[in-house]
Amino acid sequence: MEFYSYVNIFETKGLAYLLLMSFLVLGVLLIRYLSAPEKKDSTRTERKSVH
């Protein structure tokens, strides 16, 4: 009968794989964040001319 034993994530490459996946996911999010359409500039207010 086979027994399962948990491996130490620090001793294996498990942590490196998790890091790689988070790098790819966060990289995509960063690019999306930087390339997102312009936010409206809150400091600029358009003045309507009053006649």
Partner 1 sequence: MSNTAVFAGELKGFLRFLVQELRPRGPWLTPFNIISIPTIIVGLIILYYRFTLGLGSVTNLSQQYPFGFWIGFDVMTGVALAGGAYVVCFVVYVLRLEKYHCIVKVTVLNGLLAYIFYSGALLLDLGRPWHIINPIIGNSFGYNSVLFLVSWHFLLYMTVLFVEFSPTIAEWAHWKKLQTFLSSLTLGAVIIGITLSMLHQSGVGAMFLMAKPKIHPLWYSEYIPLLYFVSSIFAGLSMIIFEGTISSKIFSNLIGPKTHHSHNEIVLGLAKGAAITMFVYYFFLAFIFMHGDKWKLIDTSWGYWYLVEVIGFVLIPCFMFASGVRNKNFGVIRVASVLTILGVILNRQNICLIAYNWNIANKYYPSWQEIVVTLMVVFVEIWVFRWIVTRMNVFSKE
Residue 42 Cβ, how far from partner 1 at the closest point, in Å?
A: 9
Residue 46 Cβ vs partner 1, minimum distance, rounded to whole Å = 17
Site size toward partner 1, by CB under 8 A: 16
SS (H, E, C) the chain: CCCCCCCCCCCCCHHHHHHHHHHHHHHHHHHHHHHCCCCCCCCCCCCCCCC
Footprint on this chain of partner 1 (rule: CB under 8 A): 10, 15-16, 19-20, 23, 26-27, 30-31, 33-34, 36, 38-39, 41
